Chain A
Amino acid sequence: MKAAIALAATLCGTPAVAGWEPAKPVEIVVAAGAGGASDQMARMMQAAIQKNNLMKQPIVVSLKGGASGAEALMYMKSSEGDPNKVLIAYSLIYMLPLSAKIPFNWRELTPVSVVALDQFVLWDNSAGPKTVKDFVAAAKAASAPFKMGGTGSKREDHVLTVFLEQKTGAKFSYLPYKSGGEAATQLVGNHTEANVNNPSENLEVWRAGQVRPLCVFDKERIAYTAKVTETQSWADIPTCKEEGVDVQYLMLRAMFLPGKVTPEQQAFYVDLFHKVTQTGEYKEYMEKQALKPIFLTGKDMVQFLEEDDAQNKALMTEAGFVAK
């Protein structure tokens, strides 16, 4: 196996850039299970870095999805000073410490860059109601529990469900599944009435005509206008506000190094991920998964994180998900 890694290393030889460089294989730490949105993004980055020779050392994806991602957070926290591990983070960095009292604070890590923002869409089965209005009416009229599927408990999907309840007055039974993929198939199989999956998680079943997007939880519509299904593009999905339900939520996708690394090491990764965002692989991925492109680093990033943290904290508190 070592030989395989060494072989991969020699294949990716690239001219040296001045300054610090990793001397060991670099690990992208994924705080979720195999096949989820974080894993897919990490694999895209791995491929983009190797195909474009952006780094001498090989890059490996390491899945640390245990305890709903808390495993990855604790792993990063305990790797202080190790510049060969980079976390691909999402909103769990704010939410898990609040809901499960995990002793973790993102301020202890070294921020590198925010690389994308992920959308949330309200989906129902293609045999279900066709508009948000009909959907809300159906939920209110239902006598048995009206089931909403999602990933994990007291997390972004769950928070969105609670806010949907508050804004519409309908009542949902939230079913926490282990992954977005599972939530998608359970919706197709009619075991739930709806879910609030990210675009990437429902993309394939949407293309197969098995689910219907009702509205997107953002201020504006998704920008991509290329047809995804035979008749619709991402831009054709109305915002929830247009449909009379004013709920908005975007989720960050950001890279972090462990705490106490040197500024040179941080600078290397800022540059590396900036280059990644310039590659064809990244651009294609963003469009395919309907992600919002963004690149923030340095002070801008910290300011963004602070504001995002405050907003998430407010939402979690209001939903009653903060552990006492």
Chain B
Amino acid sequence: MEAFGLLLHGFAVLLTWKTLVLMMVGLVLGIFVGVLPGLGGPNGVAILLPLTFTMDPTSAIVMLSCIYWGALFGGAITSILFNIPGEAWSVATTFDGYPMAQQGRAAEALTAAFTSSFIGSLVAVLLITFLAPMISSFALKFGPPEFFAVYLLTFCSFVGLGREAKHKTVISMSLGLLLAGIGMDTVSGNLRMTFGSPELLRGINFLVAVIGLFGISEILLTMEERLALRGHAASISLRVVLGVWKDLPKYWVTLLRSSFIGCWLGITPGGAIAASFMGYNLAKRFAKEPESFGKGRIEGVFAPETAAHASGTSALLPMLALGIPGSGTAAILLGGLMVWGLNPGPLLFVEHKDFVWGLIASMYLGNVVGLVLVLTTVPIFASILRVPFAAVAPMIVVSCAIGAYAIQNAMFDIWLMLGFGIVGYVFKKIGIPLAPFTLALVLGNRAEDAFRLSMIGSGGNLKVFWSNGLVGSITTLAIVLLFWPVIDRLLAGVGLTHRTRTTS
């Protein structure tokens, strides 16, 4: 158990008053940053990075990673209370978290979100601790065809497993893919659909779209329908927290499945968003009453949060071991490492043991301390819902605007956000799901690049997607999921399954 000894050594490096204070400061800052939509982890870490230049690398990374954990916890708060995802991977958390808050179960939803974040991260950290060397060689197996297969799997699971009408999912996804094409095309080096506008050069930022689609449209709907945020009388006490924890064992399958999906997608870069959606969809698929999802089911909070955080945490592994950042925040941390003269790469684990194991130990400690911290503040956050809508709504709109602006310091993005707010409103009115749209917007480009690189590499031969066991099985699974409703019916027809078909 060499890893265990090294981990203990990491804790020894970490357990000083100075480090613990830095940890608390980092977590509190992180939660604040996470609560503001759009500001999020990457920006928070970027702003505070220069402050750490005078610290030693271990203290610095502990503080920065605690800002990161804090932001991860904080991101769930706005998703659940206001239907505004603070981070891209909190989108799926809104599906059931927001309805729960509306039914007066905000505290329960928040507790569920924080607890499952903790569980997801913990599983991922355990994985990092004991399997680090093996996992980095697994990540190296991913070339363009493998990446494309994973993206395809995400898209297909949406169409095949989603509860919404299939044609509406496809319409929504296609619109997202269309918008994702705006801007520079990496493969050809040409601009697409920018119509000579310098503002469109950057393409459409995913977070700007999400803030508009979810946050602004929600405000519009609320204004039209009821002029009040529902669900104020949230009963908040230790009893709620313990109640949620007592029920945890009932959901062990969901938690385990989501952790597994999260870890798997986290070590393949860019997977946290895909992981949260996939975790949610699979939980829904295997539930006894899938139609109750989206109406405030606690499992609908557990599944995406566990997956997103397992993935967010395991994303640090490819960053450390290979120098590929798995998320925006990981990319900023990567920049920080280089300033301190630590070059992420295969040798980091060999040459800077103190640092690496100090960081891993801080993941354990940071998560435990973070969980306690957010749980004790649940009442404060949940009480925001008791403030009258007329007072809260302008504040939400302003913080959305600040968030949208801060991402790229562009005024244009605020207009874009308002535009997406109207699009989101219309979509909700005519029953087109928003999730496939956002998914396509964030993964569309990567999927396209991966597909075209695969085609260049294989000389245009589609067989490349079945060229080895890994890519072949992912691709096949994707196609099975795409046609799942048909397959499900066929299986039921020949009596191979007991499933009674649920209404679609």
Contact = CB atoms under 8 A, between A and B. Distances in A.
Contacts of B198: 74, 78, 103
A33 to B, nearest CB: 7
A67 B189 CA distance: 9
A176 B188 CA distance: 8
Interface in A33-85: 33-35, 39-40, 43-44, 46-47, 50-51, 58-62, 64, 66-68, 70-71, 74, 78
Contacts of B457: 145, 147, 173, 175, 191-192
B211 to A, nearest CB: 18
Contacts of B343: 203-204
Contact of A67 (B46, B144, B191, B325): B191
Contact of B53 (A34, A50, A181, A204): A50
Contacts, number: 155
| Interface size range on A against B | 35 or more
Given A33-B331, A153-B186, A5 B53 contact: no
A7 B346 CA distance: 36
A144 interface: yes
Contacts of A101: 191
B459 to A, nearest CB: 5
A253 interface: no
Given A8-B51, A66-B183, A176-B187, A35 B347 contact: no
A7 B186 contact: no
A130 interface: no
Given A35-B335, A145-B456, A185 B141 contact: no
B193 to A, nearest CB: 12
A234 to B, nearest CB: 15
Given A145-B459, A210-B346, A189 B339 contact: no
A173 B187 CA distance: 12
B384 interface: no
A78 B197 CA distance: 13
Interface string B338-360: 11000111110000000000000
Interface string B170-201: 00000000000001111111110000001001
Contact of A60 (B50, B201, B458): B50
A186 B323 CA distance: 12
B149 to A, nearest CB: 14
B496 to A, nearest CB: 39
A189 B347 CA distance: 16
Nearest to A2: B47
Interface in A205-219: 205, 207-208, 210
Interface of A: 1, 4-5, 7-8, 11, 33-35, 39-40, 43-44, 46-47, 50-51, 58-62, 64, 66-68, 70-71, 74, 78, 99-103, 144-145, 147, 152-155, 158, 173-178, 181-182, 184-186, 188-189, 191-192, 203-205, 207-208, 210, 321, 323
Interface of B: 44, 46-48, 50-51, 53-54, 140-144, 183-191, 198, 201-203, 322-325, 328, 331-332, 334-336, 338-339, 343-347, 408-409, 449, 453, 456-459
Given A35-B325, A43-B336, A175-B453, 6 more contacts: A68-B189, A71-B202, A147-B457, A177-B453, A204-B343, A321-B189
13 contacts: A4-B48, A7-B51, A46-B339, A47-B53, A61-B46, A67-B183, A158-B189, A173-B457, A175-B456, A176-B189, A178-B186, A178-B449, A208-B346
- Ordered nearest first, which 10 A-B pairs have the shortest CB separation? A204-B345, A153-B189, A191-B143, A34-B331, A66-B202, A67-B184, A154-B189, A189-B140, A208-B346, A67-B201
